[in-house]
Amino acid sequence: MRMRDLEKAAGVSRETIRFYIREGLLPEPHRTSRNSALYADEHLARLLTIRRLKDERFLPLSVIRSLFAGGGEADWLEPQMLPEIDHVLRQRLDADGERVDLAAFSLSDGGDPDEVQDLIACGVIAVAPDGTVSPRDARILKLLDDGVRIGFNRERGYAATTAKRLADVMHELAQLELREFFARVAPHVGELEAADMAERGVGLLNQLMAELFTREVLAILAERRRVANDNPAHGTGQNGDAGQKTAE
């Protein structure tokens, strides 16, 4: 299709299309001459995906670009792959409350309003144009505020960048798991079965991550104690007692 056809089908201007090509969000078209080019269905599907991720998920272009990284591996993002699963899972996983007005969000004593703005600026919390956040983002804010209340505050080095690091880890894990899901499950099951598996899988993975994280924390602390006990220069306990007896 020609540029004018792509503009009409995607609902975006040619300036935007050219910008996306320059930024690597769209592949180069097939150029038939210096001033003429042909665009494929891939260009239209990609443009519709970008619009969906921007308008429905409020993702910045930098994040969308990272999702598309890897060329053909980004096929799982295209609308034709389980086209209704996003809608079905959103109804199931986000059907637990209305959007929350960020201006009405209440911080506990000691809560820092600037920290909320930092969380928005670094992409941990997504705010819609009407100033609201999703119920999930509101719960994330509440958890982070609870963390400040028990001592994980800016004065001790805990800031929005700490939450951003966790969010980045979760993003990478979610992207990996979704790629595997679409590669291994999508070609073999129907829409509803895929949605059922994804919904139950999210719940199981949330529990599994909590258990794995707690196990690793305990294992690292145990290893720390073992190393300290084996090194009198840094250890206490038995080594410390032995040192005291020798001194006596």
Burial level of 50, CB count in 10 A (0-12/13-18/19+)? Answer: buried
What 3-state DSSP class applies to 119? helix
pLDDT on residue 240: 45
pLDDT value of residue 54? 80
- In order along its 248 residues, the chain shows pLDDT tens digits of 899 999 999 999 999 999 999 988 898 998 888 788 999 988 988 898 888 778 776 777 877 777 776 544 455 655 556 777 888 888 888 867 788 898 887 776 666 778 888 899 988 999 999 999 998 999 999 999 999 889 998 889 888 989 999 999 998 898 888 888 887 777 677 888 889 999 999 999 999 999 999 999 999 999 999 998 888 665 444 444 444 444 44
CA–CA distance, 244 with 240 (Å, rounded to integer): 6
CATH architecture of 1-80: Orthogonal Bundle (1.10)
Where residue 81 falls (left for φ over 0; alpha for ψ -120 to 50; beta otherwise) is: beta
Q: What's residue 73's pLDDT?
A: 47
DSSP code of residue 102: G
The alpha carbon of 184 is separated from its chain's Cα centroid by a whole number of angstroms, namely 21
The amino acid at residue 89 is L
Domain definitions of the chain by residue range? 1-80
Predicted pLDDT of residue 207: 97
